[in-house]
Structure 1
């Protein structure tokens, strides 16, 4: 692929997508961003003349065809990333939307399609801790939930679409964090901690996880756009920070740097998981719930299971070497938080946002508009 290309980015008004658009422009690429009508595009509009905004929607085939025309590559980061809703809602965006985008990109003559997937595509309900798993890990026969099932299905469609003239690959970052994220797992957890309402759900266990700073996720995406087709075509890659993270120690440390009290009280893991099942079951009995359960089994699993990833394949095939250390990432995050007015500005909920970190109702009281996720 040529050094400078025109890239279609989906999800550009979101956290990762916004960073992708900025990085692509800085590298000299031209960028077309697919944006839903009514989306907040203020920051994107300031990025310069190399960026073109195109209104559209993953559920609107015509808009995808218009967006793909003239693009050499696609970075597909848009998705439905919540843990509630009907299977049809997830299918429409995560599966059908990806299929339609693949078709539009290929018909328009694009030669590279990079799908931002998730390790959740491999999650199943009864797994235990999984340390340094690699890409040989199979898809589960029974995915954990609709999000996991549809991300896995979409990933398989993308990888199976690989062809000599149309290179496809998938990247699997977990728990993306960093500046300009107001809605992800980290600001939501810190918001609850700041309010003194976050229990320690580790149960005293060291919950080992792989997280991914946004700069590291962006670096992997750009490498996937440029990597030789014969090396990456039809493959999926785990992408993560170089450091293994003790999740609850990390949350406590970041919170302490922002003068937050530590998570408490400590709740046994078995109690957390039982409470999650009960809360989710009660939530399903509601006639027409618009927001997710205050604590879900999926969230409980992400916060209590150890799961880390071997990124050796990404190093080998993409030349991936995480440019941002966790220490440097935390310092940069703190600088950004201070620059926007502090912790309240970082964690302030948006009125129109209906999803949000778990309010473990059976365990402690947190704000009702919050829910934690590490997609």
Structure 2
């Protein structure tokens, strides 16, 4: 079938394009003006449409004739006003939903995030499943707007227009220059990543990009009566002891392990102070411009790095046939090969490359911030 992929120039979006092509689909890729679409334009079976979630006309061009929409575009930075997050994550999604339905699409797969369920104050949560309710108060604007958008998508499900959401957590893998893993590795490489665990074991679920793609494409073709209006957690088959895992990945590239170890209470205080100082600085010197990067450490980042959070994929296994095809060992091997072939760890962690032909430098990625959605994509 013909599939529309939003956020196609991003990390997950680009892999969704590749996965759809491998399955024999035709792909229409929506990219923002100024995005590097050279790789996409070189792929047989891909039609690139330049547009934006704020532009109904461009969305109409993108959705015309498409039977399914894979919506991976989102505002995933850790700074900005509620209005900015709502415009990208909520209003943009509603606009795309309406356009896709009017254009005759029959399936809409929304790439959501477990952060849609993240509360301000909560402890470790292990084996979370889809029965977990949305919170009354979210951790930040990102969590709230992803949750609101997800609920709109699920509510839009109907007999001729099947909608569902997938919630991959902490996506990692080749071609990611700005997600949590390159940021952590870069901080280790520079000796700037302390062990923030406080000596606590932090168990988390992560999701290799191949596994996220597999789930999205399964959701695009699964029986409507089985998946319509539902959301699914999507993670790797292995649970991850986060801080030893980071040290292991760093060691693959000759990096020192995280140190020194910081007590949890001290880490929370430092994160709050750094975040507050960052906001004060940018309010005084920003002059209305959005900063390129967020704070080097925030309370949200610290929560992601110190709270255990694992997810049950039983529902995805039953409804989608999802079994996490890529193992961690395979994923690490492929990541090492890709980093090595691409010039080594310094090139990997330098941030996204500038668009081909652009004179502007690549936008730097935050150096100690995990990717809160795991998507690594930006609005398209």
Same-fold call, TM cutoff 0.5: yes
**Is the alpha carbon distance of 1:80 and 1:354 closer, same or farther for their aligned partners in structure 2, counting shifts above 3 Å?**
farther
User: Please, which moves more after superposition, 318-327 or 344-353?
Assistant: 344-353
1:19 aligns with 2:15: yes
Please list, as runs of the form range in 1=range in 2, the aligned pairs for 1:345-360 lying within 5 A after superposition.
Answer: 345-350=347-352, 351-353=361-363, 355-358=365-368
In the alignment, which residue of structure 2 is the partner of 1:307?
Answer: 309
What secondary structure is seen at the aligned counterpart in 2 of 1:234?
coil
1:151 aligns with 2:149: no
Does the aligned pair in 1 maintain the 2:112–2:166 contact within 8 Å? Answer: yes
Residue among 73, 85, 89 paired with 2:84: 89
Q: Distance between the aligned counterparts of 1:294 and 1:180, measured in 2? A: 22
Q: TM-score, normalised by structure 2?
A: 0.92
Report the Cα offset of residue 355 of structure 1. 4.6
In the alignment, which residue of structure 2 is the partner of 1:185?
Answer: 180
Q: C-alpha deviations, 1:288-324, integer Å up to 9, x for none?
A: 5424222111100000000000000000100001100
Report the Cα offset of residue 277 of structure 1. 1.4
Report the Cα offset of residue 283 of structure 1. 2.6
1:284 aligns with 2:286: no
Q: Distance between the aligned counterparts of 2:339 and 2:279, measured in 1? A: 37
What secondary structure is seen at the aligned counterpart in 2 of 1:38?
coil
Report the Cα offset of residue 357 of structure 1. 2.9
Please list, as runs of the form range in 1=range in 2, the aligned pairs for 1:1-375 lying within 5 A after superposition.
Answer: 5-48=1-44, 50-286=45-281, 287=283, 289=286, 290=291, 291-350=293-352, 351-353=361-363, 355-358=365-368, 371-375=369-373
Q: Which structure is richer in relative contact order (CA contacts within 8 A, separation 6 or more)? A: 2
> Which runs of 5 or more residues in structure 1 are unaligned?
359-370
Q: Distance between the aligned counterparts of 1:230 and 1:326, measured in 2? A: 32
In the alignment, which residue of structure 2 is the partner of 1:364?
Answer: none
**Is the alpha carbon distance of 1:348 and 1:338 closer, same or farther for their aligned partners in structure 2, counting shifts above 3 Å?**
same
Does the aligned pair in 1 maintain the 2:165–2:232 contact within 8 Å? Answer: yes
Does the aligned pair in 2 maintain the 1:302–1:373 contact within 8 Å? Answer: no
What secondary structure is seen at the aligned counterpart in 1 of 2:87?
helix
Does the aligned pair in 2 maintain the 1:131–1:307 contact within 8 Å? Answer: yes
The runs of at least 4 aligned residues of structure 1 exceeding 3 Å deviation read none
Does the aligned pair in 1 maintain the 2:168–2:235 contact within 8 Å? Answer: yes
| Length, aligned pairs only | 358
Q: Distance between the aligned counterparts of 1:354 and 1:181, measured in 2? A: 13
Report the Cα offset of residue 207 of structure 1. 0.6
Does the aligned pair in 2 maintain the 1:94–1:150 contact within 8 Å? Answer: yes
Does the aligned pair in 1 maintain the 2:197–2:263 contact within 8 Å? Answer: yes
Does the aligned pair in 2 maintain the 1:193–1:261 contact within 8 Å? Answer: yes
Q: Distance between the aligned counterparts of 1:181 and 1:254, measured in 2? A: 14
What secondary structure is seen at the aligned counterpart in 2 of 1:285?
helix
Does the aligned pair in 2 maintain the 1:95–1:151 contact within 8 Å? Answer: yes
Does the aligned pair in 2 maintain the 1:176–1:374 contact within 8 Å? Answer: no
Q: C-alpha deviations, 1:109-129, integer Å up to 9, x for none?
A: 000000000000000110110
- CA RMSD after TM alignment: 1.1
Q: Distance between the aligned counterparts of 1:295 and 1:348, measured in 2? A: 18
